[in-house]
Amino acid sequence: MSLTKLEVFQTVVEVGSVSKAAEALGLTQSAVSHALASLEAEWGFALLQRDRSGVRLTSNGEHVLAHVREVLHSYEQLKQQIAAINGLELGTVRIGTFTSVSSQWLPPIIQTFRAAHPSIRMKWFEGDYDEIHHWIVNGIVDFGFLSLSASKALDTIPLKKDPFVCVVPMNHPFSHQQTVTLSQIEQEAFIMPKWGSDHDVRRILKENRITPNIQYEVVEEQAIMAMVECGLGISILPKMALYRPPEQIRLIEVAGEHYRTIGIAATSFSHLSPAAKTFIHRLLEWLNERGMLDFPIERRFMLT
């Protein structure tokens, strides 16, 4: 059994097809297919089912996938530790993220990080809170950005308080107000953001015993803003999600202390690879330099 075959298997599962895996790994499709066939012959059972829509795990493939990820993760840590001992830097950092962080934080942070650490590769996986939590727990990513209300007992570092605002069209009666109460929102046609099973907007409304008149449930923030602009309803969104809002909508403060806490989460920060720890230190440094950290840095993450 070779580590290359394990990496091929993991990559095919992640991207969902042999052709995409071949492209990601810099191999031919026949080489990927041969590696999978060799691994299945060596282990004595099928790992994947192939059809026109791509590939999916067999039940036996599901049983071994977590162990494959553990082996590859341990090998990645070993490579990085050996490199660190020899005064070198290498490795791959895999990050789970959601749209607000992907659009506003990650591009400049990664640009800064790559300039200082050119031999460390970066990969990010974008999804909703439930998907990111799943990726962290199952070792698909090293760590992920989350609203910490969705962290579910993971090891976390709080970063920023992101306030919620009410989003209304310019011709809406609320557009002349400085603030809007949650009880006022209850009376309006409402577009519910949907970022997972237990996201912050739903939590805030539930805690305040508000039952909104939900007309639509939408994942993509840009789509929500377009729907608000067309008069299909109003919504509540975190301020960071409102990147370059349309001219014909207005953002109004929601009365009270309502915000999501954006942070990073991992199964254990102490067990992360050297490359992942280096990225987190650079992340904290970048946010701190721009006055964007709303929480003191814990001693274990102090910048040096």
Confidence class for position 142, pLDDT limits 50, 70, 90: very high
CB–CB of 44/31 below 8 Å?
A: no
What pLDDT was estimated at residue 245?
85
Number of Cα atoms under 13 Å in the Cβ half of residue 79: 15
Of the candidate ranges 53-57, 60-64, 134-138, 207-211, the one whose mean pLDDT is the lowest:
53-57
More confident residue, 86 or 102: 102
Fold of 1-63: Arc Repressor Mutant, subunit A (1.10.10)
**Range from 119-123, 179-183, 262-266 carrying the lowest mean pLDDT:** 119-123
Domain with CATH 1.10.10.10 in the chain: 1-63
Domain 161-259: homologous superfamily in CATH: Periplasmic binding protein-like II (3.40.190.10)
The pTM of this model reads: 0.71
pLDDT tens digit string along 36-57? 888 888 898 899 988 777 788 9
* pLDDT (0 to 100) of residue 188: 94
Burial of 142 (0-12, 13-18, 19+ CB in 10 A): buried
pLDDT tens figures, 216-246: 999 888 899 999 999 999 999 999 988 888 8
Looking up tokens 């050119």, which residue turns up? 118
Ranges 78-82, 151-155, 180-184, most confident: 180-184
Using 50, 70 and 90 to split pLDDT, how confident is the model at 121?
confident
CA–CA dist 234, 227 (Å, integer): 8
Average pLDDT over residues 92-118: 92
For range 118-146, the mean pLDDT: 91
The DSSP output letter for 302 is: -
| Positions of CATH 3.40.190.10 in the chain | 161-259
Q: What is the pLDDT of residue 198?
A: 55
Higher per-residue confidence, 194 vs 1: 194
Integer Cα distance of 37 and 48 in angstroms: 10
* CB of 150 closer than 8 Å to CB of 196: yes
